């Protein structure tokens, strides 16, 4: 319990905002979450649902310079840039290239690992509090490869994970059928990562966490933040429906957090790596755990309500309409490895990963805007990092040492 309970507004009801609200509430603060879309309707709705404490590999690669033209020209590749968005993305891309030296990649991976090491423990605290263990499958994940080249293509990622101290196991192809009887396809290689868990429905888990927060007296209001001004010692959070006075403000608005930074007169190199999914009917038999088809970069995830197929990254900002062609092209890969898959699209979705070019989260108090804390930038692993970002944020608000070097995550590092 904090000695001086405060009134706190959290902007954004994705996993980062809801987790921050829950940890702040534990300290006795009066917390209100604002979000115009409802709870868990942003990126936290449609992701692949893996809690992935070993996923330290940054987006930048030593060959990023070479990959960018390929991204632009390969219509079937897992990366896509919408041409009209390229001028706006340019500063972000240039910084991505700056972050692609082997030294920077290792430093950024280690910076993420410092948070990832505590990610599962922070999740477990929230899962226990909200009694949601039934929404989690603790069965690891498998990466499978049909070819030697497929495995070789991920060699650098695997080496980096091991260098950061994460345990991964290389399995011979024969073991895959025993682990995943649903496959008809034979694979040559597999990599098993045991300490990953899967959320059966990430949007629903976020909603259940929020329901627990409200049951304990927290407030959620469906309002959009349009301005932030300092009013004496407090902040005035202006919305489309009114305004709220707060001692502290937590910005957990995902890919939209850059707009909130702008309200404070700050520039942030936060953009979005857009991602897609298609939901198919649950195959019978289905998978026991998420599977990455390593040769095609397609991720198959058995969820509570069907099989989720996800793949790739699209750079196109927050405004351009979705282009579902690539993700639809991935569905036949699921059928190829499991003929029992019915290629009937139950739903299709696009979401906005909040991504920085160094793939380090944005976490901490904004210098010069005392009392405003950012908790965003989770990028490809934001569902994993949400709870630990929330826990660290509560520590910082309370003036406790989070036990993690916060320098790599400073919100004003640009
Ligand atoms: C296809 C795909 C697969 C993924 N798979 C995984 C995975 O397996 N594991 C993993 O860890 N991560 C995964 N991710 C990444 C993860 O989904 C995100 O990093 C994470 O959900 C971000 O959570 P968030 O709370 O920061 O943002 P969001 O969930 O996007 O929430 C931000 C919220 O802020 C609100 N907001 C915006 N502007 C305002 C405003 N002005 N006022 C008030 N509210 C506002 C929005 O409405 C939104 O609800 C995946 C992402 C995608 C797209």
Residue at 1 is within a domain: no
Mean pLDDT, the chain, whole residue set: 95
Kindly report, residue by residue over 275-318, the tens digit of the pLDDT: 999 999 999 999 999 999 999 999 999 999 999 999 889 999 99
Kindly report, residue by residue over 198-235, the tens digit of the pLDDT: 999 999 999 999 999 999 999 999 999 999 999 888 99
Atom of ligand 1 nearest to the CA of 379: 19
Q: Band the pLDDT of 254: cuts 50, 70, 90.
A: very high
Residue at 406 is within a domain: no
Is the CB–ligand 1 distance for residue 361 below 6 Å? no
Is the CB–ligand 1 distance for residue 50 below 6 Å? yes
Is the CB–ligand 1 distance for residue 12 below 6 Å? yes
Kindly report, residue by residue over 6-17, the tens digit of the pLDDT: 999 999 999 999
CATH number reported for the structural domain that contains residue 105 in this entry: 3.50.50.60
Average pLDDT of the segment spanning 175-197: 93
Distance 230 CA to ligand 1 centre (A): 27
Least confident range from 108-112, 171-175, 387-391: namely: 171-175
Is the CB–ligand 1 distance for residue 383 below 6 Å? yes
In 35-155, beta strands by DSSP E = 50-51, 79-81, 136-137, 141-145
How many whole angstroms separate alpha carbon 28 and alpha carbon 20? 13
The strand pair at 141-145 and 189-193 is best described as antiparallel
Q: Band the pLDDT of 265: cuts 50, 70, 90.
A: very high
- C-alpha to C-alpha distances, 372 to 1, 86, 225, nearest whole angstrom: 20, 31, 14
Which residue segment(s) compose the domain that 133 sits in?
A: 7-398
Average pLDDT of the segment spanning 246-258: 98
Residue 186's pLDDT is what? 86
Residue at 285 is within a domain: yes
Least confident range from 18-27, 60-69, 136-145, 259-268: namely: 60-69
Distance 319 CA to ligand 1 centre (A): 16
Atom of ligand 1 nearest to the CA of 355: 19
The residues near 339 (Cβ < 8 Å, ≥ 6 apart) are 184
The residues near 198 (Cβ < 8 Å, ≥ 6 apart) are 49, 50, 51, 136, 137, 139, 141, 289, 290, 301, 302
From 323, 284, 359, select the one nearest 60 (Cα to Cα). 359
Atom of ligand 1 nearest to the CA of 255: 30
Residue 60's pLDDT is what? 85
The SS3 of residue 212 is: helix
Kindly report, residue by residue over 79-100, the tens digit of the pLDDT: 888 989 999 999 999 999 999 9
Distance 300 CA to ligand 1 centre (A): 20
Residue 71's pLDDT is what? 66
Average pLDDT of the segment spanning 169-178: 89
Distance 280 CA to ligand 1 centre (A): 22
From 225, 178, 171, 216, select the one nearest 193 (Cα to Cα). 171
The residues near 117 (Cβ < 8 Å, ≥ 6 apart) are 53
Residue 1's pLDDT is what? 46
pLDDT value at 3 more than 70: no
The SS3 of residue 347 is: strand
Are 356 and 270 in contact, with CB atoms under 8 Å apart? yes
Residue 356's pLDDT is what? 98
Count how many domains the chain has.
1
Average pLDDT of the segment spanning 162-179: 91
How many whole angstroms separate alpha carbon 141 and alpha carbon 168? 10
Mutate-to-test residue for ligand 1 from 47, 301, 411, highest number of ligand atoms within 8 A of CB: 47
Residue of the CA atom closest to atom 22 of ligand 1: 382
Residue of the CA atom closest to atom 3 of ligand 1: 47
Is the CB–ligand 1 distance for residue 252 below 6 Å? yes
Q: What percent of the chain has pLDDT over 70?
A: 98
Is the CB–ligand 1 distance for residue 388 below 6 Å? no
Is the CB–ligand 1 distance for residue 330 below 6 Å? no
- C-alpha to C-alpha distances, 392 to 17, 163, 237, nearest whole angstrom: 12, 25, 22
Spacing of C-alpha 332 from chain mean position: 26
Specify the DSSP element, H or E, that contains 401: none
Residue 2's pLDDT is what? 47
Residue 75's pLDDT is what? 64
First to last CA, the chain: 34
Is the CB–ligand 1 distance for residue 42 below 6 Å? yes
Average pLDDT of the segment spanning 343-351: 98
Kindly report, residue by residue over 354-379, the tens digit of the pLDDT: 999 999 999 999 999 999 999 999 99
Residue 353's pLDDT is what? 98
From 414, 107, 372, select the one nearest 271 (Cα to Cα). 414
Is the CB–ligand 1 distance for residue 18 below 6 Å? no
Kindly report, residue by residue over 328-337, the tens digit of the pLDDT: 999 999 999 9
Average pLDDT of the segment spanning 103-113: 96
Is the CB–ligand 1 distance for residue 292 below 6 Å? no
Distance 298 CA to ligand 1 centre (A): 20
Looking up tokens 């959009």 gives: 224
Distance 171 CA to ligand 1 centre (A): 33
Specify burial of residue 10 (Cβ count, 10 A radius: 0-12, 13-18, 19+). buried
Atom of ligand 1 nearest to the CA of 354: 19
Copy the structure tokens of residue 382.
């934001």
pLDDT value at 150 more than 50: yes
Kindly report, residue by residue over 391-408, the tens digit of the pLDDT: 999 999 999 999 999 999
Mutate-to-test residue for ligand 1 from 226, 264, 382, 389, highest number of ligand atoms within 8 A of CB: 382
Copy the structure tokens of residue 94.
């240039």
Distance 381 CA to ligand 1 centre (A): 10
The SS3 of residue 352 is: strand
DSSP 322: P
**Which of 133-137, 146-150, 232-236, 294-298 reaches the highest mean pLDDT?**
133-137
CB neighbour burial string for 268-300, b if at least 16 within 10 angstroms, e if fewer? bbbbbbbbbbbbbbbbeebbbbbbbbbbbbbbb
pLDDT value at 76 more than 70: no
Residue at 404 is within a domain: no
pLDDT, greater one: 139 or 185: 139
Is the CB–ligand 1 distance for residue 384 below 6 Å? yes
């Amino acid at each position: 319990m904090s000695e001086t309970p405060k009134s706190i507004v959290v902007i954004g009801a994705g996993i980062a905002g809801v987790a921050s609200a829950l940890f702040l509430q534990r300290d006795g603060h009066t917390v209100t979450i604002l979000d115009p879309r409802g709870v868990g309707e942003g990126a936290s709705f449609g992701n692949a649902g893996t809690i992935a404490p070993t996923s330290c590999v940054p987006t930048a690669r030593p060959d990023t310079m070479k990959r960018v033209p390929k991204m632009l020209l390969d219509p079937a590749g897992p990366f896509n840039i919408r041409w009209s968005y390229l001028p706006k993305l340019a500063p972000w891309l240039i910084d991505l290239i700056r972050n692609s030296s082997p030294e920077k990649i290792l430093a950024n991976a280690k910076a993420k690992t410092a948070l990832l090491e505590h990610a599962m423990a922070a999740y477990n605290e929230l899962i226990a509090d909200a009694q949601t263990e039934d929404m989690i499958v603790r069965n690891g994940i498998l990466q499978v490869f049909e070819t030697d080249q497929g495995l070789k293509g991920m060699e650098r990622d695997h080496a980096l994970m091991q260098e950061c101290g994460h345990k991964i196991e290389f399995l011979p192809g024969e073991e895959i059928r025993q682990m995943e009887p649903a496959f008809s396809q034979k694979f040559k290689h597999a990599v098993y990562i045991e300490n990953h868990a899967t959320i059966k429905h990430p949007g629903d888990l976020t909603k259940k966490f929020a329901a627990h927060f409200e049951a304990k007296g927290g407030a959620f209001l469906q309002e959009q933040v349009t301005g932030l001004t300092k009013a004496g010692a407090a902040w005035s959070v202006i919305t489309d429906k009114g305004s709220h006075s707060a001692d502290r403000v937590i910005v957990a608005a995902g890919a939209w957090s850059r707009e909130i930074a702008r309200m404070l007169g700050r520039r942030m190199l936060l953009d979005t790596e857009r991602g897609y999914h298609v939901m198919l009917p649950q195959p019978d038999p289905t998978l026991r755990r998420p599977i990455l088809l390593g040769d095609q970069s397609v991720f198959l995830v058995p969820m509570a309500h069907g099989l989720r197929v996800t793949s790739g990254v699209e750079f196109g900002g927050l405004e351009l309409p979705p282009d579902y062609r690539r993700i639809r092209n991935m569905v036949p890969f699921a059928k190829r490895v499991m003929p029992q898959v019915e290629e009937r699209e139950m739903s299709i979705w696009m979401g906005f990963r909040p991504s920085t070019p160094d793939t380090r989260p944005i976490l901490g108090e904004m210098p010069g805007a005392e009392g405003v804390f950012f908790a965003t930038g989770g990028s490809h692993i934001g569902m994993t990092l949400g709870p630990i970002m929330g826990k660290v944020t509560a520590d910082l608000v309370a003036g406790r040492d989070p036990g993690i070097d916060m320098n790599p995550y400073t919100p004003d590092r640009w």
